[in-house]
Amino acid sequence: MRTSPPASGRLPEAITDPHTGRKISLLDWKAANLRGSWLLGLLMVVLLGGLGGLIGYAFDPGLATIVLVIAVVFGVGQTLAAYFASDSMVLNVAGARPANEKEHRYLVNVSEAVAIGAGVPRPRVYVIDNPAPNAFATGRDPQHGTIAVTTGLLQLLDRQELEGVVAHEMAHIRNYDIRFMSMLAATVGAIVLLRDVAMRAMYFGGMGRRRGGGGGGRGQILVMILLIVLLILAPILALALRMAVSRRREYLADATGAYITRNPEGLARALEKLRDYKGAPMKVSEGVAHMFFINPKARMNAVGMFATHPPLQDRINRLRRM
């Protein structure tokens, strides 16, 4: 029998990680997300500065310092944008619009009830006009959290199932996953952008063609080789990290969401309906696909290092063992 979300909003201090079976302190998880977010911001500045300096040196050693400074400034700007404006950027990319209090009163009521159970302010609620069932959360903290759901999700799920999905997204907000994943996405995006700029520059000519005697010329060739290796490997490694980190967060958000609603079966049934959905997939940018409840660009049971989400059946089984 279903129990409504508790009015107190109090959750256990620790939750069993469905992925590893070990207890995880929610306070420790939140602190790790906060530390990781700022470390990613610092990493973005360092990587962009280093790659910018290499690009400048490969063109002309005299340009290295100037390009490095420009890249560092860009990295700082990218970090600030990821912190303060990531929610707006993701919502625009996804084509989301604010939920109408009259038209979407059902969704607003569910979000209010689940927010009480999660012990967080009610997030801003958005709707995406798309028949494919899905949802995501974004923002920098619980005071600036946002949840967006598709019209297809609203049509497909009953109230208990919708509460389960909203609670899952509320868990991402409560655990500060939203900030960490926004910073990680920005880091990967900045590196890929810089890679594209360098590749185009090499294609149209100029890199490594500056004249310099002996060791200087050989030095530029070595820098160019190192730059190419970094520009190819850095996005791949960052993407692999994003995928692995995302999967663990999905398991923990499932467990936290089940605690919020006190109804793991509702979330399990929602996942079953999304697993069995046969309609056209949702078209979204690769840069934000990992933030959705299920990856809209992947096969439903995708596995392996580059899968952003765990297999749906695995998530269902773990919920039903809770």
Q: Taking the alpha carbons of 273, 317, 238, 204 in that order, is the dihedral positive or negative?
A: negative
- Read off the DSSP letter of residue 14: E
Q: Can you give the pLDDT at residue 261?
A: 92
Q: Can you give the pLDDT at residue 211?
A: 47
Distance CA 15, CA 185 (A): 26
The whole-model pTM stands at 0.77
Q: Mean of the pLDDT values across residues 283-307?
A: 67
Is 228 inside a domain boundary? yes
Is 200 inside a domain boundary? yes
Is 102 inside a domain boundary? no
Number of independent structural domains in the chain:
1
Residue 146, classed as helix, strand or coil, is: strand
Helices and strands (H and E) in the chain: how many: 9, 6
Is 88 inside a domain boundary? yes
Find where tokens 């009953």 sit. 158
Q: Which residues pair with 137 in a beta bridge?
A: 147
Q: Mean of the pLDDT values across residues 238-256?
A: 73
DSSP symbols for 295-322: -TTS-TT--STT-SS--HHHHHHHHHT-
Q: Which of 152-156, 196-200, 246-250 has the lowest mean pLDDT?
A: 196-200
CB 148 within 8 A of CB 170: no
Q: Where are the alpha helices (DSSP H) in 62-176?
A: 64-94, 105-118, 151-156, 159-174
What the block records as the tokens of 96 is 């989301």
Is 103 inside a domain boundary? no
In single-letter form, the type of residue at position 22 comes to R
What do you get for the CA distance between the two ends of the chain, in Å? 15
Shortest CA distance to 298 belongs to which of 285, 313, 314, 281? Answer: 281
Distance CA 242, CA 247 (A): 9
**Element containing residue 98 per DSSP (H, E):** strand 96-98
pLDDT digits (tens, 9 = 90+) for 297-311: 655 445 554 556 778
Confidence band, pLDDT 50/70/90 cuts, at residue 251: confident
* 169 assigned to active site: yes
Q: Can you give the pLDDT at residue 12?
A: 61
Residue from 101, 103, 161, 169 carrying the catalytic annotation:
169
Does the pLDDT of residue 23 top 70, yes or no?
yes
Distance CA 188, CA 195 (A): 11
pLDDT digits (tens, 9 = 90+) for 124-145: 999 999 999 999 999 888 899 9
pLDDT digits (tens, 9 = 90+) for 185-238: 677 667 667 667 666 766 665 555 554 544 456 666 776 777 677 667 766 766
Q: Which domain holds residue 236?
A: 21-96+177-320
Is 41 inside a domain boundary? yes
Distance CA 251, CA 274 (A): 16
Is 3 inside a domain boundary? no
Is 170 inside a domain boundary? no
Geometric angle at alpha carbon 45, from 41 and 47, rounded to 5°? 110
What the block records as the tokens of 269 is 């049934």
**Chain Cα centroid distance, residue 12:** 25
Q: Mean of the pLDDT values across residues 275-290?
A: 82
